[in-house]
Amino acid sequence: MIQILPAIDIIGGRCVRLSQGDFSRETSYGVTPVEMASRFMDSGFSSIHVVDLDGARMGKPVNMNSLRAISGITGLQVEWGGGIKTRDDIEAALEAGATSVVCGTVAVRDPALFMSFIDEYGADRVTLGADVRGTKVAVSGWTKTSEVALDDLIRSFLPGLKNVIVTEISRDGMFTGPDAGLFRDLAREFPEVVFTASGGIGSIEHIKVLEEAGIPKVIVGKALYENKIRLEDLAIWSQRG
């Protein structure tokens, strides 16, 4: 059964969502990250995905106070990303309460350093975040597209790499559904990798498509904030026998 991770994106300590990774297309919601995390916990979710968008854009963690607040008030496992590039960044996030960290840009620009993070902290605590436009991986908070292909990036960290989040930037926040073919191909090509799908989720049917494609985890964000999917319905569906 596919695991659902409700998402929180943070800018300036506020819950926001972007459309297609464009910082000029930001929607802000009248709820704090702590309040949103508490709602997720009260609905029965045990894990959430949180992105420090300020950190992603600036290349260093910014919203650590939000992470501390979420971790201090809830009992959730927090997957945290955004600007994680150094050991100090990882240590700070883990000390602030993150269960695991997500690295993207550093994996593209300094593969050896990223691999050393996996070796040092473990494959369960360091996740590869691969944000893609077409087949190429984007960096610097989605603002730049590299020449590195997604499959080549994943392959370069095997064996050792365990967890990969793939976000389809063109679909993110658009409710158009995931590229099931892409994720089906990834699951077949890299059976040793635990993939999390992100981008385009607008209905429970979209989640079912990923489950049928063999993807073990999915991130659901804007659809919850825009009431495309009701949190109560998602919680009931995710807890089905």
pLDDT digits (tens, 9 = 90+) for 100-114: 999 998 999 999 999
**What pLDDT is attached to residue 145?**
72
3-state helix, strand, coil in the chain (%, to 5): 35, 30, 35
- The amino acid at residue 17 is R
Position 15 confidence tier, pLDDT thresholds 50, 70, 90: confident
Per-residue DSSP letter, 135? T
DSSP string, 194-237: EEEEES---SHHHHHHHHHTT--EEEE-HHHHTTSS-HHHHHHH
For residue 207, what is the domain's CATH number?
3.20.20.70
Position 20 confidence tier, pLDDT thresholds 50, 70, 90: low
Least confident of 3-17, 78-92, 105-119: 3-17
Total domains, the chain? 1
Structure tokens at 174: 């658009």
Sequence length of the chain is: 241
Estimate to the nearest angstrom the gap between the alpha carbon of 55 and the chain centroid. 14
Structure tokens at 234: 């998602």
- For residue 24, pLDDT over 80 is answered with no
**What pLDDT is attached to residue 133?**
83
Position 21 confidence tier, pLDDT thresholds 50, 70, 90: low
**Mean of the pLDDT values across residues 122-138?**
90
Cα of first residue to Cα of last residue in the chain, in angstroms, is: 9
Per-residue DSSP letter, 17? E
Contacts 24+ apart (CB under 8 A), 32-35: 33/8, 33/63, 33/66, 33/69, 33/70, 34/66, 34/69, 34/70, 34/73, 34/74
* Three-state DSSP state, 77: strand
Instruction: Provide the mean pLDDT of the chain.
Output: 90
Structure tokens at 25: 């297309």
Position 29 confidence tier, pLDDT thresholds 50, 70, 90: confident
Structure tokens at 15: 């819950």
CA distance 161 to 115: 8
Would you call 10 exposed, middle or buried from its count of C-beta atoms within 10 A (0-12, 13-18, 19+)? Answer: buried
Domain range for 49 is 3-238
Query: Is the alpha carbon torsion for 141, 26, 46, 180 positive or negative?
Result: negative
- The count of other CB atoms within 10 Å of the CB of residue 174 is 16
CA distance 26 to 19: 7
Active site residues: 9, 131
Structure confidence by residue, pLDDT tens digits, 154-206: 999 999 999 999 998 877 667 889 988 999 999 999 999 999 999 889 999 99
Residue whose C-alpha is closest to residue 53's, from 20, 90, 83: 83
Q: Which residue has the higher pLDDT, 240 or 38?
A: 38
% of the chain surpassing 70 pLDDT: 93
Position 84 confidence tier, pLDDT thresholds 50, 70, 90: very high
Q: Which residue has the higher pLDDT, 20 or 60?
A: 60
**What pLDDT is attached to residue 142?**
59
CA distance 197 to 93: 23
Structure confidence by residue, pLDDT tens digits, 200-223: 899 999 999 999 999 999 999 999
- For residue 95, pLDDT over 90 is answered with yes
